[in-house]
Each structure stands twice: as structure tokens, then as C-alpha cells.
Structure 1
Amino acid sequence: MLDALAIEKLTDIVADAQATPHTIAKLTDSYPEMTIEDGYAVQDALLARWESQGRVLVGLKAGLTSKAKMDQMGVTEPSFGMLMGDTIDPDGGVVPTDKLIHPRVEAEIAFVTKADLSGPDLSIDDILAATDFVQPAIEIIDSRFEKFKFDLVSVIADNGSSARFVMGGQPRRPQDVDLRTVGIVLEKNGEIVGTASSGAVLGHPARSIQMLVAWLHGRGRVLPAGSIVLTGGATEAVAVSTGDAIVARYQDMGALSVRIG
């Protein structure tokens, strides 16, 4: 692993690219020895900075959880990132893009937990029992890397390309909907730009949470009650520009919309 000085330098690079904003080269171009754990060490350092500024961690996200997204980004395993409370935008509202470089949107299933989740081998039933409700979500991602090109280590350090997210539609108890087969349609300016089943995410979106909780367990952490978890986009992410109107429709879960500001 990289030493503390290198992690601090990388944290400076990522934090500045997100705040300014501007594109940067893949971090592994300068640090080819960088590991996945180094990427998460940068995340930890970012979170410490953000919390010192008064920002609040409200949940976690899984990324690159569908074959479409893995193929699109050229990676072979999911990643995890943080969700901050000041990045939530309202259903039907406007997403501010003054600090975004090349935003893209994807439709996801969000979980909100009502009990702590911990351990290396939870079942899907365990996860559903600890879930208060599931809800449609749109995530707006924005890699800070040049031409939206990166490797797994670099995107982890960039907090999984996290930027903004919206939750809406009709919240449902997880036992009342078959989360393996929810049909999803993503529209941009009235045209269909993506279709998928929720099962595109690892066969069942709760599997994202299985992997997330196991990863947290390996770091001596739990997923606390009240957490929001974005389980990952079922389809490829769609590029958006200022003025675009985005609608995501979910079978038996309603629809949500947002305008790109």
C-alpha cells in the first residue's frame, strides 16, 4: 500500500478536481503501484475532510454492478462509495450542474434500512428483513477523469463517480415487490434511452448490499439502520446536458423525474 503522504497527496488531487471542478488523469498513471485498498484509503480521507466541513454521510452506493456497466467501463468487479446528504435533489426538481464536468444518469433501486446489517454471509432474506422500504432512484454520476476513462482503483478513489442522486416514485415494502424482475425504462427528453430489469444488478439488487456489507465487515464496520443504499445502475449510464428532462419509470413502483440545470 501507499504511504500516508501519498494518500494525502491523492486526496488533495481528487478533492480539488471535485470542488473546482476539472478533469484529471487516472491516478494510476502517476501511482502504478496503487491498490484497491489505497483507493478506499483516499475515500476515508475524503470523508474525514467532508465531515470536518459539516457534511453528513447518509448512506453508501454500489457501482459497476451490472454487466452493462462493467462492459461500458471496462472493469470486472463492483466498487463502493459514499452518499453525502447535500447531494440529494428532489423528485421533479432541478439538478445543479455548475460543479459537474460530464454528467451521466442511470436508473437504480434504492434501499433504506431499518436495522443494522453486519457480517460476511448475509442472505437476501436477511437484507430484506432489515430494509424499511425500497424506492426508485436516479443517480447522476460524474467521473473527474479525462474522457470518462478510468480503472477500478482510480474510480474508487474518486468515490465511485458519485455526484448527485434523486429518490422518488412509490416506495414499497421489499416483501411486496419481486425485486428480481422490476421493469425499468429510462427516458431523456421524451425518448427511451434505456430499458432493463432490476435483475440486471447481480440477479437481484439486494446482492449489491450483500457484497457491500461483507466488504464493510472486512473493515470492521456495519451498515447502520437508516442508511440509504444505491444498488447500482441496471443499464449503461446516459450522458446528459443542461436542459435535458429525465424520467425513469418502474414497474409497480411509479416514476420519478428531474431536469438537468
Structure 2
Amino acid sequence: MLEFNTRREIAQKIFHCYRNNEQLPLLTRSYPEMDTQDAYYIQEQVLSHFVAEGSTIKGYKIGLTSKAMQEMVGSTEPDYSTLLNEMFVDEDSVLPANTFTDPLVEIELAFVIKSPLQGPGVNAADVIQATDFVLPSIEIVDFRVARAPGMDVRDTIADLAAVGRVVLGGNPVKLDQIDIRNVEGELLINGEVLEKGISSAVLGNPVTAVVWLVNKLAEFGVAFQPGDVIFSGSFVRALPVKAGDRVSARFDNGLGQVNINFGEE
């Protein structure tokens, strides 16, 4: 484990990189003794810098929801990060490409919570009962800790689980109106379908991912609150984007499409 002051110094560096669109080398190279607990503590400290500036918590994201991705970064479970109000951007808006250092895009289903929900011991029925509706969404992944060979889950956890921005579509669907396990989705860039997937790729069922998160956060005394938005994890491969690209996430089951544009430099 790292010393207390070392964790705080790393968090300050990551926050600086987020605000100034800069990157750090792999934390696991610079601090090989860092463990997963250190990484979550660093994430918490990064978030505290945002909150000190007036940011508010609006939800959470779940990452590493496929076994292949977990194996790639040496993890045995998903990871997560808190989402802040400033990370949410309106669909169809234009984002300056130079807002990001190394952006990738993913498509996800986002759960909107209607009643307080806290583990431990939460199951799928509890999550379904506490969910108001789901929305189509795009996550823009970005990296303050620069991608490089040897990167593992400790690097991404400390870096807010590599979240950049998130985009919600405006077409809510109730869970009892769809089979949440069998939602088909497509990722389009400039009108071309580049990735396709099905929601069961997220731990067999996106509800299962939310169950995991609720019970995981219970270890830290955290409860979901009405209005929280939970990004349940991508069921397609993340793809890079550049200035001038238009990105669309298209879903069946009545969820529709959500778009975001990357402006020129």
C-alpha cells in the first residue's frame, strides 16, 4: 500500500490532468506497490477536489463488465466510479475534441433510480423495484493516466474508471416493457455501424451489474438516491473518435437512438 500523503499527491495530479487536459504515465509503473484499495482511495480524493469546487454527485458508472476486459487489466470483478454533474452532456451537442486526451466511445443502458437503495444483500428484484426507467446512453471514455502496455485495473480505478463524459438519450423505457437481457445495440460513427452487441454481454444481465454496484458501495456506506443515474456497462467494444466525428448509439426495444458530436480542434 501507499503512504497517505502519496495517495493524496497522486489524486491532486489526476485532478490537475482532468482540468488541464494532460496525462500522467502509468501509476503502476511509478508506484508498483499501489494496490486496489489505494486506487479507490485515490479516486475518492480526486472526486473530493471536484466537490470542493461545487460539483455534485449525479450517479455512478460500472466498467469491466465482461470477463475479457477483466482479464485484460488483471481484475476479477467490475470497477466503478462516481459520476458528477459536469460529466453529463446533452445529446446532440457538440463537444470540442480538445476537451479530451484519448477519447473512446461505448454504448450502454442507463438505469434511473426512483427510491433509496442500499446493500448489502440487494438482489435483482430489489434493483428492478427501485428503478424508474432505463435510457439509451453513450459513455465517452478518456484517460488522464495514459494508456500503455502493462496498464491494469489499478490505473483505471484511480483515474475515475476512465470516465470522460456521459450522454443520456431522452427516451425512457420501463423495465416491465422490455427484456433487459436482450436489448440489441449498435455503435455508429459518421453513420457507419462499426460495433453491434446485446445487453446480456453485461454480466449476463445489466440488472446484475447494478446489483453488484449497490452491494459493492455498501462496503463504503453509500446508498443510491432517487434520481441517481447508473451506467450499467458497455456491451460493445470501445472505439476511438476524433475531431469531426458524429457518434450514435442505436437500440431496439423502443429505446431509440442517442447522438453526440465531436467538434473540430
TM-score range, shorter chain: over 0.9
- The one-letter amino acid paired with 2:159 is D
Is the counterpart of residue 117 in structure 1 residue 117 in structure 2?
yes
Q: Which residue matches 2:259? A: 257
What is the CA-CA distance between 1:28 and the residue it aligns to?
A: 1.5
> Following the alignment from structure 1 to structure 2, what is the Cα–Cα distance between the partners of residues 126 and 148?
40
Q: Which residue matches 2:177? A: 176
> 1:189/1:75 Cα in 2 relative to 1: closer, same or farther (>3 Å)?
farther
Q: Which residue matches 1:210? A: 211
What is the CA-CA distance between 1:194 and the residue it aligns to?
A: 0.6
Q: Is the 8 A contact 1:19 1:99 kept in 2?
A: no
> 1:148/1:63 Cα in 2 relative to 1: closer, same or farther (>3 Å)?
farther
- The one-letter amino acid paired with 1:254 is G
Q: Which residue matches 1:165? A: 166
Q: Which residue matches 1:230? A: 231
Q: Is the 8 A contact 1:64 1:232 kept in 2?
A: yes
TM-score (norm 1): 0.95
What is the CA-CA distance between 1:67 and the residue it aligns to?
A: 3.7
- The one-letter amino acid paired with 1:172 is V
> Following the alignment from structure 1 to structure 2, what is the Cα–Cα distance between the partners of residues 203 and 11?
34
Q: Is the 8 A contact 1:82 1:162 kept in 2?
A: no
> Following the alignment from structure 2 to structure 1, what is the Cα–Cα distance between the partners of residues 19 and 148?
17
> Following the alignment from structure 2 to structure 1, what is the Cα–Cα distance between the partners of residues 154 and 72?
16
- 3-state SS of the aligned residue for 1:98? helix
> Following the alignment from structure 2 to structure 1, what is the Cα–Cα distance between the partners of residues 55 and 112?
20
> Following the alignment from structure 1 to structure 2, what is the Cα–Cα distance between the partners of residues 57 and 112?
14
CA offset digits 1:6-58 (Å, max 9, x no partner): 11111122112212222211112121111111111111111221111011110
What is the CA-CA distance between 1:144 and the residue it aligns to?
A: 2.0
> Following the alignment from structure 2 to structure 1, what is the Cα–Cα distance between the partners of residues 158 and 147?
17
CA offset digits 1:151-183 (Å, max 9, x no partner): 101110000011111110521111211100000
> Following the alignment from structure 1 to structure 2, what is the Cα–Cα distance between the partners of residues 72 and 238?
16
Matches within 5 A, 1:1-261: 1-67=1-67, 69-70=69-70, 75-147=75-147, 150-252=151-253, 253-261=255-263
CA offset digits 1:182-209 (Å, max 9, x no partner): 0001111111111000111001111111
TM-score (norm 2): 0.93
> Following the alignment from structure 2 to structure 1, what is the Cα–Cα distance between the partners of residues 237 and 117?
29
What is the CA-CA distance between 1:90 and the residue it aligns to?
A: 1.2
- The one-letter amino acid paired with 1:53 is E
What is the CA-CA distance between 1:70 and the residue it aligns to?
A: 3.6
What is the CA-CA distance between 1:145 and the residue it aligns to?
A: 2.7
> Following the alignment from structure 1 to structure 2, what is the Cα–Cα distance between the partners of residues 108 and 148?
25
> 1:33/1:134 Cα in 2 relative to 1: closer, same or farther (>3 Å)?
same
Q: Is the 8 A contact 1:95 1:164 kept in 2?
A: no
Q: Is the 8 A contact 2:66 2:203 kept in 1?
A: yes
Percent sequence identity over matched residues? 34
- The one-letter amino acid paired with 2:210 is I
> Following the alignment from structure 2 to structure 1, what is the Cα–Cα distance between the partners of residues 97 and 42?
24
Unaligned stretches of 5+ in structure 1? none
Coordinate RMSD, CA, aligned = 1.6
